[in-house]
A and B are shown apart, each in its own frame.
Chain A
Amino acid sequence: MSQEEKIKESLVNKFNYLSDSIKIVRPRRISIEVSLENFEQVFAYLAKELQFGHLCTITGLDEPEKLGFIYHLAADSGILINLRTYAPKNNPVIKTVTSYFPGAEIYERELVDLFGATVTGLPVGNRYPLTDDWPTEEHPLRKDWKPKPAKEGEVDKNA
Protein backbone atom coordinates (compact mmCIF):
# COMPACT_ATOMS: atom_id res chain seq x y z
CA MET A 1 0.00 0.00 0.00
CA SER A 2 1.39 3.35 -0.99
CA GLN A 3 1.91 6.17 1.49
CA GLU A 4 -0.93 8.12 -0.12
CA GLU A 5 -3.33 5.21 0.38
CA LYS A 6 -2.26 4.86 4.02
CA ILE A 7 -3.03 8.53 4.61
CA LYS A 8 -6.41 8.10 2.95
CA GLU A 9 -7.18 5.04 5.07
CA SER A 10 -6.22 6.71 8.32
CA LEU A 11 -8.37 9.73 7.43
CA VAL A 12 -11.39 7.61 6.56
CA ASN A 13 -11.00 5.59 9.78
CA LYS A 14 -10.95 8.77 11.80
CA PHE A 15 -13.61 10.69 9.88
CA ASN A 16 -16.18 8.41 8.28
CA TYR A 17 -17.86 11.20 6.37
CA LEU A 18 -14.70 11.74 4.29
CA SER A 19 -14.89 8.34 2.58
CA ASP A 20 -16.30 9.75 -0.68
CA SER A 21 -14.45 13.05 -0.75
CA ILE A 22 -10.80 11.95 -0.62
CA LYS A 23 -9.11 11.50 -3.97
CA ILE A 24 -5.56 10.51 -4.74
CA VAL A 25 -5.03 12.69 -7.81
CA ARG A 26 -1.56 11.44 -8.65
CA PRO A 27 1.48 10.33 -6.65
CA ARG A 28 2.14 12.95 -3.94
CA ARG A 29 -1.17 14.77 -4.53
CA ILE A 30 -4.31 14.19 -2.45
CA SER A 31 -7.46 16.23 -2.67
CA ILE A 32 -10.05 16.38 0.12
CA GLU A 33 -13.34 18.21 0.31
CA VAL A 34 -14.83 18.93 3.70
CA SER A 35 -17.80 20.92 4.95
CA LEU A 36 -17.15 24.13 6.84
CA GLU A 37 -18.43 22.70 10.14
CA ASN A 38 -16.07 19.70 10.00
CA PHE A 39 -13.18 21.70 8.59
CA GLU A 40 -11.30 22.45 11.76
CA GLN A 41 -11.16 18.91 13.14
CA VAL A 42 -9.85 17.55 9.82
CA PHE A 43 -7.38 20.43 9.50
CA ALA A 44 -6.10 19.91 13.06
CA TYR A 45 -5.77 16.15 12.51
CA LEU A 46 -3.72 16.69 9.33
CA ALA A 47 -1.50 19.36 10.86
CA LYS A 48 -0.91 17.75 14.24
CA GLU A 49 -1.33 13.98 13.85
CA LEU A 50 -0.41 13.25 10.24
CA GLN A 51 2.58 15.65 10.24
CA PHE A 52 1.40 17.90 7.44
CA GLY A 53 3.44 20.62 9.06
CA HIS A 54 3.84 23.11 6.21
CA LEU A 55 1.04 25.31 4.94
CA CYS A 56 2.15 26.29 1.42
CA THR A 57 -0.62 28.84 0.96
CA ILE A 58 -4.41 29.25 0.87
CA THR A 59 -6.13 29.64 -2.50
CA GLY A 60 -9.41 31.50 -2.70
CA LEU A 61 -11.99 30.63 -5.38
CA ASP A 62 -15.12 32.38 -6.60
CA GLU A 63 -17.39 29.48 -7.52
CA PRO A 64 -19.42 31.85 -8.20
CA GLU A 65 -22.46 30.95 -6.04
CA LYS A 66 -20.16 30.30 -3.05
CA LEU A 67 -16.58 31.01 -2.03
CA GLY A 68 -14.08 28.17 -2.04
CA PHE A 69 -10.92 27.92 0.03
CA ILE A 70 -8.13 25.44 -0.62
CA TYR A 71 -5.55 24.92 2.10
CA HIS A 72 -2.41 23.44 0.56
CA LEU A 73 -0.75 21.36 3.27
CA ALA A 74 2.60 19.67 2.66
CA ALA A 75 4.49 16.97 4.53
CA ASP A 76 8.23 16.35 4.48
CA SER A 77 7.56 13.22 2.41
CA GLY A 78 6.67 15.53 -0.50
CA ILE A 79 2.95 14.67 -0.33
CA LEU A 80 0.69 17.66 -0.74
CA ILE A 81 -2.94 17.70 0.43
CA ASN A 82 -5.39 20.16 -1.04
CA LEU A 83 -8.01 20.55 1.68
CA ARG A 84 -11.01 22.33 0.23
CA THR A 85 -13.97 23.88 1.97
CA TYR A 86 -16.78 26.24 0.97
CA ALA A 87 -18.58 29.15 2.59
CA PRO A 88 -21.84 30.74 1.36
CA LYS A 89 -21.27 33.92 -0.59
CA ASN A 90 -23.74 35.99 1.42
CA ASN A 91 -21.97 35.06 4.65
CA PRO A 92 -18.40 33.99 3.80
CA VAL A 93 -17.06 33.49 7.32
CA ILE A 94 -14.11 31.20 8.01
CA LYS A 95 -11.99 30.76 11.12
CA THR A 96 -8.32 31.70 11.15
CA VAL A 97 -5.71 28.93 11.14
CA THR A 98 -3.01 31.19 12.60
CA SER A 99 -3.09 29.19 15.85
CA TYR A 100 -1.71 26.26 13.82
CA PHE A 101 0.38 28.27 11.35
CA PRO A 102 1.22 31.86 12.37
CA GLY A 103 2.55 32.36 8.83
CA ALA A 104 -1.00 31.95 7.51
CA GLU A 105 -1.83 35.52 8.56
CA ILE A 106 -0.72 37.06 5.28
CA TYR A 107 -2.57 34.42 3.20
CA GLU A 108 -5.78 35.04 5.15
CA ARG A 109 -5.48 38.80 4.69
CA GLU A 110 -5.31 38.14 0.98
CA LEU A 111 -8.63 36.27 1.19
CA VAL A 112 -10.15 39.22 3.03
CA ASP A 113 -8.96 41.83 0.52
CA LEU A 114 -9.25 39.96 -2.76
CA PHE A 115 -12.30 37.74 -2.10
CA GLY A 116 -14.19 39.55 0.63
CA ALA A 117 -14.03 36.66 3.09
CA THR A 118 -14.41 37.33 6.80
CA VAL A 119 -11.72 35.59 8.80
CA THR A 120 -12.57 35.42 12.49
CA GLY A 121 -9.76 35.49 15.02
CA LEU A 122 -7.29 37.21 12.70
CA PRO A 123 -5.00 39.49 14.76
CA VAL A 124 -5.22 43.26 14.26
CA GLY A 125 -2.83 44.38 11.54
CA ASN A 126 -2.27 46.03 8.18
CA ARG A 127 -4.38 45.00 5.23
CA TYR A 128 -2.75 43.12 2.38
CA PRO A 129 -2.28 43.53 -0.55
CA LEU A 130 -4.62 46.42 -1.43
CA THR A 131 -4.07 50.05 -0.55
CA ASP A 132 -5.54 51.62 2.61
CA ASP A 133 -7.95 53.74 0.56
CA TRP A 134 -9.28 50.82 -1.51
CA PRO A 135 -13.07 50.54 -1.00
CA THR A 136 -13.79 47.74 1.49
CA GLU A 137 -16.74 46.39 -0.54
CA GLU A 138 -14.68 45.89 -3.72
CA HIS A 139 -12.90 42.55 -4.06
CA PRO A 140 -10.90 42.27 -7.29
CA LEU A 141 -10.68 38.49 -7.55
CA ARG A 142 -14.46 38.05 -7.43
CA LYS A 143 -15.65 37.10 -10.90
CA ASP A 144 -18.16 39.96 -11.09
CA TRP A 145 -15.49 42.57 -10.37
CA LYS A 146 -14.14 44.29 -13.46
CA PRO A 147 -11.59 47.08 -13.48
CA LYS A 148 -13.11 50.45 -14.30
CA PRO A 149 -12.12 51.45 -17.82
CA ALA A 150 -9.87 54.48 -17.74
CA LYS A 151 -11.02 57.35 -19.92
CA GLU A 152 -8.46 58.31 -22.46
CA GLY A 153 -6.52 61.46 -21.68
CA GLU A 154 -8.51 62.13 -18.54
CA VAL A 155 -7.36 62.09 -14.94
CA ASP A 156 -9.80 60.63 -12.42
CA LYS A 157 -10.41 63.59 -10.11
CA ASN A 158 -11.95 61.42 -7.41
CA ALA A 159 -8.97 59.11 -7.15
Chain B
Amino acid sequence: MHNAPEFKIPIGPQHPALKEPEGFSVALKGEKILGVDIRLGYNHRGIEKAAEERTYIQDIYLLERVCGICSHSHSTCFIQAVEEIAGLAVPSRALYIRTIIGELERIHSHLLWLGVAGHEIGFDTLLMYSWRDREVVMDILASITGNRVNYGMNTIGGVRRDINPEEKQEILNGLKILEERTKYYIEIATQETTIIKRLSGVGVLSREDVLRLDAVGPTARASGVKRDIRADDPYAAYGELSFDVITDDHCDVYGRTVVRVKELMESYKIIRQALEKLPDGPLVVKAPRKIPIGEAISRYEAPRGEDVHYVRSNGTEKPDRVKVRAPTLANVQAVKHMLKDRFLADMPIVIAAIDPCFSCTDRMVHLKEQDCGSDKVINWPSLHTYSIEWHKERGIDFTQLNKKLQERFTR
Protein backbone atom coordinates (compact mmCIF):
# COMPACT_ATOMS: atom_id res chain seq x y z
CA MET B 1 0.00 0.00 0.00
CA HIS B 2 2.82 2.42 0.79
CA ASN B 3 3.98 2.10 -2.82
CA ALA B 4 0.59 2.99 -4.23
CA PRO B 5 0.66 6.01 -6.54
CA GLU B 6 -0.92 9.28 -5.50
CA PHE B 7 -3.55 10.77 -7.76
CA LYS B 8 -6.49 13.13 -7.79
CA ILE B 9 -9.96 12.28 -9.02
CA PRO B 10 -12.76 14.75 -9.61
CA ILE B 11 -16.23 13.71 -8.45
CA GLY B 12 -18.88 16.14 -9.59
CA PRO B 13 -20.25 18.75 -10.02
CA GLN B 14 -22.26 16.43 -12.28
CA HIS B 15 -21.69 12.81 -11.41
CA PRO B 16 -23.91 9.71 -11.48
CA ALA B 17 -23.27 9.04 -7.78
CA LEU B 18 -24.31 12.51 -6.65
CA LYS B 19 -27.91 13.55 -6.23
CA GLU B 20 -27.13 17.26 -6.24
CA PRO B 21 -24.40 19.28 -7.91
CA GLU B 22 -21.30 19.76 -5.78
CA GLY B 23 -17.66 19.32 -6.68
CA PHE B 24 -15.26 17.05 -4.84
CA SER B 25 -11.63 16.82 -5.75
CA VAL B 26 -10.31 13.77 -3.94
CA ALA B 27 -6.59 13.20 -3.44
CA LEU B 28 -5.96 9.48 -3.19
CA LYS B 29 -3.08 7.18 -2.39
CA GLY B 30 -4.30 3.81 -3.54
CA GLU B 31 -7.76 3.53 -2.01
CA LYS B 32 -7.00 5.89 0.86
CA ILE B 33 -8.22 9.49 0.85
CA LEU B 34 -5.41 11.95 1.58
CA GLY B 35 -7.62 15.00 1.44
CA VAL B 36 -10.79 16.37 -0.09
CA ASP B 37 -11.36 19.73 -1.66
CA ILE B 38 -15.04 20.69 -1.83
CA ARG B 39 -16.47 23.24 -4.26
CA LEU B 40 -19.99 24.38 -3.46
CA GLY B 41 -22.26 26.99 -4.94
CA TYR B 42 -23.64 25.14 -7.98
CA ASN B 43 -27.09 25.43 -6.47
CA HIS B 44 -26.78 29.14 -5.61
CA ARG B 45 -29.98 30.76 -6.81
CA GLY B 46 -29.62 34.25 -5.37
CA ILE B 47 -32.56 33.73 -3.02
CA GLU B 48 -31.32 36.32 -0.48
CA LYS B 49 -31.17 39.02 -3.14
CA ALA B 50 -34.53 37.92 -4.54
CA ALA B 51 -36.05 38.18 -1.04
CA GLU B 52 -35.13 41.89 -0.90
CA GLU B 53 -37.17 42.47 -4.07
CA ARG B 54 -40.33 40.80 -2.78
CA THR B 55 -42.90 41.47 -0.09
CA TYR B 56 -42.85 39.59 3.20
CA ILE B 57 -45.79 37.43 2.13
CA GLN B 58 -44.13 36.53 -1.17
CA ASP B 59 -40.92 35.77 0.70
CA ILE B 60 -42.63 33.09 2.80
CA TYR B 61 -43.23 31.12 -0.38
CA LEU B 62 -39.80 31.93 -1.80
CA LEU B 63 -37.96 30.85 1.35
CA GLU B 64 -40.12 27.76 1.71
CA ARG B 65 -38.42 26.68 -1.51
CA VAL B 66 -34.86 26.98 -0.20
CA CYS B 67 -35.11 23.25 0.45
CA GLY B 68 -37.46 20.60 -0.88
CA ILE B 69 -37.39 18.59 2.33
CA CYS B 70 -37.18 21.12 5.17
CA SER B 71 -39.58 23.57 3.53
CA HIS B 72 -41.61 24.14 6.71
CA SER B 73 -38.35 24.66 8.64
CA HIS B 74 -37.30 27.56 6.43
CA SER B 75 -40.67 29.29 6.27
CA THR B 76 -41.15 28.98 10.05
CA CYS B 77 -37.64 30.22 10.74
CA PHE B 78 -38.24 33.25 8.53
CA ILE B 79 -41.66 34.26 9.86
CA GLN B 80 -40.50 33.86 13.46
CA ALA B 81 -37.98 36.61 12.79
CA VAL B 82 -40.59 38.80 11.05
CA GLU B 83 -43.11 38.26 13.86
CA GLU B 84 -40.48 39.22 16.44
CA ILE B 85 -39.77 42.50 14.63
CA ALA B 86 -43.47 43.29 14.24
CA GLY B 87 -44.11 42.35 17.88
CA LEU B 88 -46.93 39.97 16.99
CA ALA B 89 -48.34 37.62 19.61
CA VAL B 90 -48.99 34.51 17.55
CA PRO B 91 -52.03 32.53 18.83
CA SER B 92 -50.99 29.40 20.66
CA ARG B 93 -53.14 27.15 18.48
CA ALA B 94 -51.04 28.31 15.51
CA LEU B 95 -47.80 27.61 17.41
CA TYR B 96 -48.98 24.08 18.18
CA ILE B 97 -49.96 23.44 14.56
CA ARG B 98 -46.53 24.70 13.41
CA THR B 99 -44.92 22.29 15.86
CA ILE B 100 -47.00 19.35 14.62
CA ILE B 101 -46.15 20.05 10.96
CA GLY B 102 -42.49 20.55 11.91
CA GLU B 103 -42.32 17.16 13.56
CA LEU B 104 -44.21 15.42 10.72
CA GLU B 105 -41.61 16.97 8.42
CA ARG B 106 -38.81 15.58 10.60
CA ILE B 107 -40.37 12.10 10.42
CA HIS B 108 -40.55 12.19 6.64
CA SER B 109 -37.01 13.55 6.40
CA HIS B 110 -35.47 10.99 8.78
CA LEU B 111 -37.27 8.07 7.07
CA LEU B 112 -36.07 9.36 3.73
CA TRP B 113 -32.54 9.54 5.10
CA LEU B 114 -32.75 5.98 6.45
CA GLY B 115 -33.62 4.74 2.97
CA VAL B 116 -30.81 6.71 1.34
CA ALA B 117 -28.33 5.41 3.92
CA GLY B 118 -29.51 1.85 3.26
CA HIS B 119 -29.09 2.39 -0.46
CA GLU B 120 -25.58 3.82 -0.11
CA ILE B 121 -24.37 0.70 1.72
CA GLY B 122 -26.09 -1.69 -0.68
CA PHE B 123 -28.91 -2.55 1.74
CA ASP B 124 -31.74 -1.72 -0.65
CA THR B 125 -34.33 -3.71 1.29
CA LEU B 126 -34.06 -1.03 3.96
CA LEU B 127 -34.63 1.63 1.29
CA MET B 128 -37.78 -0.14 0.05
CA TYR B 129 -39.13 -0.65 3.57
CA SER B 130 -38.46 2.83 4.92
CA TRP B 131 -39.71 4.64 1.82
CA ARG B 132 -42.87 2.57 1.83
CA ASP B 133 -43.44 3.52 5.47
CA ARG B 134 -42.58 7.12 4.71
CA GLU B 135 -45.67 7.21 2.49
CA VAL B 136 -47.78 7.01 5.67
CA VAL B 137 -46.46 10.37 6.87
CA MET B 138 -46.51 11.84 3.36
CA ASP B 139 -50.21 10.98 3.11
CA ILE B 140 -50.87 12.65 6.47
CA LEU B 141 -49.04 15.79 5.36
CA ALA B 142 -50.86 15.80 2.04
CA SER B 143 -54.25 15.51 3.67
CA ILE B 144 -53.61 18.22 6.29
CA THR B 145 -51.76 20.74 4.16
CA GLY B 146 -52.66 19.75 0.60
CA ASN B 147 -49.05 19.05 -0.33
CA ARG B 148 -46.39 16.42 0.18
CA VAL B 149 -43.72 19.10 0.48
CA ASN B 150 -43.85 22.94 0.45
CA TYR B 151 -46.88 22.91 2.73
CA GLY B 152 -47.77 26.60 2.64
CA MET B 153 -49.06 26.34 6.21
CA ASN B 154 -47.35 29.44 7.54
CA THR B 155 -48.34 33.02 7.26
CA ILE B 156 -47.13 36.03 9.21
CA GLY B 157 -49.02 35.94 12.52
CA GLY B 158 -50.14 32.32 12.42
CA VAL B 159 -51.07 29.42 10.19
CA ARG B 160 -53.39 29.17 7.19
CA ARG B 161 -55.07 25.85 7.88
CA ASP B 162 -56.54 24.19 10.93
CA ILE B 163 -56.31 20.60 12.09
CA ASN B 164 -59.85 19.34 12.64
CA PRO B 165 -60.86 16.35 14.86
CA GLU B 166 -60.96 13.95 11.88
CA GLU B 167 -57.48 14.99 10.81
CA LYS B 168 -56.31 14.63 14.38
CA GLN B 169 -57.57 11.03 14.36
CA GLU B 170 -55.90 10.43 10.99
CA ILE B 171 -52.56 11.61 12.39
CA LEU B 172 -52.92 9.40 15.47
CA ASN B 173 -53.78 6.36 13.31
CA GLY B 174 -50.75 7.01 11.11
CA LEU B 175 -48.48 7.45 14.12
CA LYS B 176 -49.49 4.00 15.36
CA ILE B 177 -48.20 2.39 12.16
CA LEU B 178 -45.09 4.58 12.07
CA GLU B 179 -44.22 3.86 15.68
CA GLU B 180 -44.53 0.13 15.15
CA ARG B 181 -42.24 0.35 12.11
CA THR B 182 -39.75 2.60 13.88
CA LYS B 183 -39.39 0.08 16.70
CA TYR B 184 -38.46 -2.42 14.01
CA TYR B 185 -35.87 -0.01 12.55
CA ILE B 186 -34.38 0.60 15.99
CA GLU B 187 -34.08 -3.17 16.32
CA ILE B 188 -32.34 -3.33 12.93
CA ALA B 189 -30.01 -0.46 13.75
CA THR B 190 -28.99 -1.86 17.10
CA GLN B 191 -28.93 -5.61 16.36
CA GLU B 192 -28.38 -6.24 12.66
CA THR B 193 -24.72 -7.24 12.32
CA THR B 194 -24.25 -6.11 8.71
CA ILE B 195 -25.44 -2.57 9.55
CA ILE B 196 -23.34 -2.33 12.69
CA LYS B 197 -20.19 -3.62 10.96
CA ARG B 198 -20.62 -1.50 7.83
CA LEU B 199 -21.27 1.76 9.66
CA SER B 200 -19.11 1.51 12.76
CA GLY B 201 -15.85 3.41 12.64
CA VAL B 202 -16.85 5.07 9.34
CA GLY B 203 -16.89 8.86 9.06
CA VAL B 204 -15.50 9.39 12.55
CA LEU B 205 -15.98 12.84 14.07
CA SER B 206 -14.91 13.23 17.68
CA ARG B 207 -16.76 15.37 20.21
CA GLU B 208 -13.88 17.86 20.17
CA ASP B 209 -14.07 18.10 16.38
CA VAL B 210 -17.81 18.78 16.51
CA LEU B 211 -17.19 21.67 18.88
CA ARG B 212 -14.21 22.94 16.89
CA LEU B 213 -15.88 22.68 13.46
CA ASP B 214 -19.34 23.84 14.60
CA ALA B 215 -21.25 20.83 13.30
CA VAL B 216 -25.01 20.83 13.92
CA GLY B 217 -28.01 18.53 14.21
CA PRO B 218 -27.86 14.73 14.33
CA THR B 219 -24.23 14.94 13.14
CA ALA B 220 -23.31 16.79 16.37
CA ARG B 221 -25.62 14.79 18.62
CA ALA B 222 -24.15 11.47 17.41
CA SER B 223 -20.80 12.67 18.82
CA GLY B 224 -22.25 13.27 22.26
CA VAL B 225 -22.89 17.01 21.86
CA LYS B 226 -26.29 17.77 23.34
CA ARG B 227 -27.29 20.63 21.06
CA ASP B 228 -30.88 20.94 19.93
CA ILE B 229 -32.52 24.30 19.32
CA ARG B 230 -35.91 22.88 20.29
CA ALA B 231 -34.58 22.45 23.83
CA ASP B 232 -31.88 25.16 24.01
CA ASP B 233 -33.69 28.11 22.43
CA PRO B 234 -37.34 26.95 22.40
CA TYR B 235 -39.68 28.30 19.71
CA ALA B 236 -43.27 27.48 18.64
CA ALA B 237 -44.78 25.19 21.29
CA TYR B 238 -41.62 23.26 22.23
CA GLY B 239 -41.24 25.08 25.54
CA GLU B 240 -44.53 23.53 26.72
CA LEU B 241 -43.86 19.97 25.56
CA SER B 242 -41.62 17.34 27.09
CA PHE B 243 -39.17 15.34 24.97
CA ASP B 244 -35.61 14.03 25.20
CA VAL B 245 -32.66 15.27 23.18
CA ILE B 246 -31.20 12.05 21.77
CA THR B 247 -27.42 11.75 21.80
CA ASP B 248 -25.02 8.93 21.12
CA ASP B 249 -21.32 8.38 21.78
CA HIS B 250 -20.31 6.33 18.74
CA CYS B 251 -19.10 9.45 16.87
CA ASP B 252 -19.51 7.72 13.48
CA VAL B 253 -22.12 6.99 10.79
CA TYR B 254 -23.50 4.23 12.99
CA GLY B 255 -24.13 6.75 15.78
CA ARG B 256 -25.83 9.13 13.33
CA THR B 257 -28.16 6.29 12.29
CA VAL B 258 -29.05 5.46 15.90
CA VAL B 259 -29.70 9.13 16.72
CA ARG B 260 -32.06 9.57 13.77
CA VAL B 261 -34.14 6.44 14.35
CA LYS B 262 -34.45 7.24 18.05
CA GLU B 263 -35.40 10.83 17.26
CA LEU B 264 -38.37 9.47 15.32
CA MET B 265 -39.77 8.12 18.59
CA GLU B 266 -39.38 11.56 20.18
CA SER B 267 -41.24 13.14 17.26
CA TYR B 268 -44.20 10.79 17.81
CA LYS B 269 -44.14 11.75 21.49
CA ILE B 270 -44.13 15.46 20.65
CA ILE B 271 -46.98 15.18 18.12
CA ARG B 272 -49.16 13.17 20.50
CA GLN B 273 -48.68 15.74 23.27
CA ALA B 274 -49.30 18.64 20.91
CA LEU B 275 -52.53 17.06 19.60
CA GLU B 276 -53.63 16.32 23.15
CA LYS B 277 -52.95 19.88 24.36
CA LEU B 278 -53.95 21.67 21.11
CA PRO B 279 -55.48 24.87 22.51
CA ASP B 280 -58.67 26.39 21.16
CA GLY B 281 -58.61 29.83 19.64
CA PRO B 282 -57.86 31.74 16.48
CA LEU B 283 -55.33 30.54 13.90
CA VAL B 284 -53.86 33.90 13.02
CA VAL B 285 -53.52 37.50 14.18
CA LYS B 286 -53.65 40.30 11.68
CA ALA B 287 -50.18 41.31 10.57
CA PRO B 288 -49.32 44.73 9.12
CA ARG B 289 -48.37 44.81 5.46
CA LYS B 290 -45.46 47.12 6.29
CA ILE B 291 -43.15 45.75 8.95
CA PRO B 292 -41.71 48.43 11.29
CA ILE B 293 -37.95 49.11 11.31
CA GLY B 294 -36.06 46.47 13.22
CA GLU B 295 -34.06 43.28 13.06
CA ALA B 296 -34.30 39.78 14.49
CA ILE B 297 -32.54 36.49 14.28
CA SER B 298 -34.43 33.24 14.47
CA ARG B 299 -33.17 29.71 15.02
CA TYR B 300 -34.99 26.47 14.20
CA GLU B 301 -34.02 22.82 14.63
CA ALA B 302 -34.53 21.47 11.12
CA PRO B 303 -34.22 17.71 10.52
CA ARG B 304 -30.58 18.28 9.49
CA GLY B 305 -29.73 20.65 12.31
CA GLU B 306 -29.79 24.30 13.23
CA ASP B 307 -31.34 26.58 10.63
CA VAL B 308 -30.67 30.32 11.03
CA HIS B 309 -32.54 33.25 9.48
CA TYR B 310 -31.66 36.89 10.03
CA VAL B 311 -34.18 39.51 8.90
CA ARG B 312 -33.81 43.29 8.88
CA SER B 313 -36.76 45.51 8.03
CA ASN B 314 -36.82 49.13 6.93
CA GLY B 315 -40.46 50.03 7.50
CA THR B 316 -41.65 49.07 4.01
CA GLU B 317 -43.47 45.98 2.80
CA LYS B 318 -40.18 44.46 1.61
CA PRO B 319 -37.31 43.31 3.85
CA ASP B 320 -34.01 45.17 3.74
CA ARG B 321 -31.95 42.04 4.24
CA VAL B 322 -32.67 38.35 4.65
CA LYS B 323 -29.85 35.99 5.55
CA VAL B 324 -30.26 32.23 5.49
CA ARG B 325 -27.84 29.70 6.86
CA ALA B 326 -29.04 26.15 6.21
CA PRO B 327 -27.67 23.30 8.34
CA THR B 328 -25.77 21.53 5.54
CA LEU B 329 -23.44 24.53 5.17
CA ALA B 330 -22.49 24.24 8.84
CA ASN B 331 -21.62 20.56 8.38
CA VAL B 332 -19.43 20.90 5.27
CA GLN B 333 -16.17 21.39 7.18
CA ALA B 334 -16.98 18.33 9.26
CA VAL B 335 -17.39 16.19 6.12
CA LYS B 336 -13.90 17.16 4.93
CA HIS B 337 -12.55 16.08 8.28
CA MET B 338 -14.53 12.80 8.31
CA LEU B 339 -13.21 11.72 4.91
CA LYS B 340 -9.52 12.29 5.58
CA ASP B 341 -7.52 9.05 5.84
CA ARG B 342 -10.62 6.96 5.10
CA PHE B 343 -11.29 4.74 2.10
CA LEU B 344 -12.82 5.99 -1.11
CA ALA B 345 -15.56 3.33 -0.84
CA ASP B 346 -16.81 5.00 2.36
CA MET B 347 -17.29 8.36 0.68
CA PRO B 348 -20.94 7.96 -0.42
CA ILE B 349 -22.21 6.91 3.00
CA VAL B 350 -20.08 9.48 4.87
CA ILE B 351 -21.46 12.30 2.73
CA ALA B 352 -24.98 10.89 2.98
CA ALA B 353 -24.63 10.67 6.76
CA ILE B 354 -24.86 14.44 7.23
CA ASP B 355 -28.03 14.20 5.13
CA PRO B 356 -27.34 16.84 2.49
CA CYS B 357 -30.51 18.22 0.86
CA PHE B 358 -32.50 16.50 -1.90
CA SER B 359 -35.55 17.59 -3.81
CA CYS B 360 -39.04 16.18 -3.97
CA THR B 361 -41.51 16.07 -6.81
CA ASP B 362 -45.04 17.18 -7.37
CA ARG B 363 -47.86 14.70 -7.07
CA MET B 364 -50.78 16.14 -9.06
CA VAL B 365 -51.16 14.97 -12.65
CA HIS B 366 -53.06 17.16 -15.08
CA LEU B 367 -53.94 15.36 -18.31
CA LYS B 368 -55.39 16.87 -21.41
CA GLU B 369 -57.12 14.21 -23.48
CA GLN B 370 -55.75 14.36 -26.97
CA ASP B 371 -58.95 13.54 -28.85
CA CYS B 372 -61.47 15.90 -27.32
CA GLY B 373 -59.12 18.32 -25.58
CA SER B 374 -61.07 18.13 -22.33
CA ASP B 375 -59.25 18.43 -19.03
CA LYS B 376 -58.92 15.46 -16.73
CA VAL B 377 -57.49 15.82 -13.27
CA ILE B 378 -56.30 12.77 -11.38
CA ASN B 379 -56.20 13.30 -7.65
CA TRP B 380 -53.83 11.55 -5.27
CA PRO B 381 -56.03 8.57 -4.21
CA SER B 382 -56.98 7.68 -7.80
CA LEU B 383 -53.36 8.06 -8.95
CA HIS B 384 -52.41 5.72 -6.12
CA THR B 385 -55.03 3.17 -7.20
CA TYR B 386 -53.98 3.56 -10.83
CA SER B 387 -50.38 2.75 -9.97
CA ILE B 388 -51.38 -0.34 -7.99
CA GLU B 389 -53.54 -1.59 -10.89
CA TRP B 390 -50.77 -0.82 -13.40
CA HIS B 391 -48.36 -3.02 -11.46
CA LYS B 392 -50.96 -5.75 -10.94
CA GLU B 393 -51.49 -6.04 -14.68
CA ARG B 394 -47.76 -6.69 -14.98
CA GLY B 395 -47.76 -9.42 -12.35
CA ILE B 396 -46.59 -7.37 -9.35
CA ASP B 397 -49.17 -7.68 -6.60
CA PHE B 398 -48.68 -6.67 -2.99
CA THR B 399 -52.29 -7.16 -1.90
CA GLN B 400 -51.57 -10.16 0.31
CA LEU B 401 -48.49 -8.54 1.84
CA ASN B 402 -50.35 -5.32 2.59
CA LYS B 403 -53.17 -7.27 4.17
CA LYS B 404 -50.72 -9.04 6.47
CA LEU B 405 -49.16 -5.73 7.41
CA GLN B 406 -52.52 -4.15 8.17
CA GLU B 407 -53.49 -7.12 10.33
CA ARG B 408 -50.29 -6.74 12.33
CA PHE B 409 -51.00 -3.12 13.15
CA THR B 410 -54.65 -3.52 13.98
CA ARG B 411 -54.11 -6.56 16.16
What bracket does the count of chain A residues touching chain B fall in? 35 or more
Partner among B39, B211, B213 whose Cβ is within 8 Å of the Cβ of A126: B39
Distance in Å: Cβ of B275 to nearest Cβ of chain A: 26
Query: Does A151 touch B at the CB level, under 8 Å?
Result: no
What bracket does the count of chain B residues touching chain A fall in? 35 or more
- B 32-62 contacts with A by CB, 8 A: 37-41, 44, 46, 48-49
Distance in Å: Cβ of B298 to nearest Cβ of chain A: 10
Distance in Å: Cβ of A2 to nearest Cβ of chain B: 15
Distance in Å: Cβ of B316 to nearest Cβ of chain A: 14
Question: What is the CA–CA distance of A140 and B50 in the complex, to the nearest angstrom?
Answer: 10
Residue-wise interface mask of A (91-130) relative to B, using a CB-CB cutoff of 8 A (1 in contact, 0 not): 0000000000111111100000010000000000111111
Residue-wise interface mask of B (310-321) relative to A, using a CB-CB cutoff of 8 A (1 in contact, 0 not): 101000000001
Given the contacts A106-B333, A129-B41, A70 and B310 also touching, CB distance less than 8 Å: yes
CB-CB nearest in chain B for A53: B211
Which A residues touch B192, using CB under 8 A?
Answer: none
Name the prevailing secondary structure of the B interface residues: mixed
Partner among A56, A82, A107 whose Cβ is within 8 Å of the Cβ of B306: A56
Residue-wise interface mask of B (47-84) relative to A, using a CB-CB cutoff of 8 A (1 in contact, 0 not): 01100000000000000000000000000000000001
CB-CB nearest in chain B for A70: B310
Q: Is the beta-carbon distance between A80 and B49 smaller than 8 angstroms?
A: no
Given the contacts A72-B297, A103-B333, A141 and B212 also touching, CB distance less than 8 Å: no
Query: Does A54 touch B at the CB level, under 8 Å?
Result: yes
Query: Does B383 touch A at the CB level, under 8 Å?
Result: no
Q: Is the beta-carbon distance between B299 and A57 smaller than 8 angstroms?
A: no
Q: Count contacts between A and B, CB distance < 8 Å.
A: 87
Query: Does B196 touch A at the CB level, under 8 Å?
Result: no
Which A residues touch B40, using CB under 8 A?
Answer: 106, 126, 128-129
Query: Does B183 touch A at the CB level, under 8 Å?
Result: no
Query: Does A157 touch B at the CB level, under 8 Å?
Result: no
Q: Is the beta-carbon distance between A129 and B321 smaller than 8 angstroms?
A: no
Question: What is the CA–CA distance of A150 and B232 in the complex, to the nearest angstrom?
Answer: 46
Query: Does B329 touch A at the CB level, under 8 Å?
Result: yes
Question: What is the CA–CA distance of A128 and B233 in the complex, to the nearest angstrom?
Answer: 30
Task: Give 6 nearest A-B pairs by CB, closest first.
Answer: A129-B41, A57-B325, A103-B214, A129-B44, A78-B232, A78-B233
Residues of B participating in the A interface, judged by any CB pair closer than 8 Å = 37-41, 44, 46, 48-49, 84, 211-215, 226-227, 232-234, 296-297, 299, 306, 308, 310, 312, 321, 323, 325, 329-330, 332-334
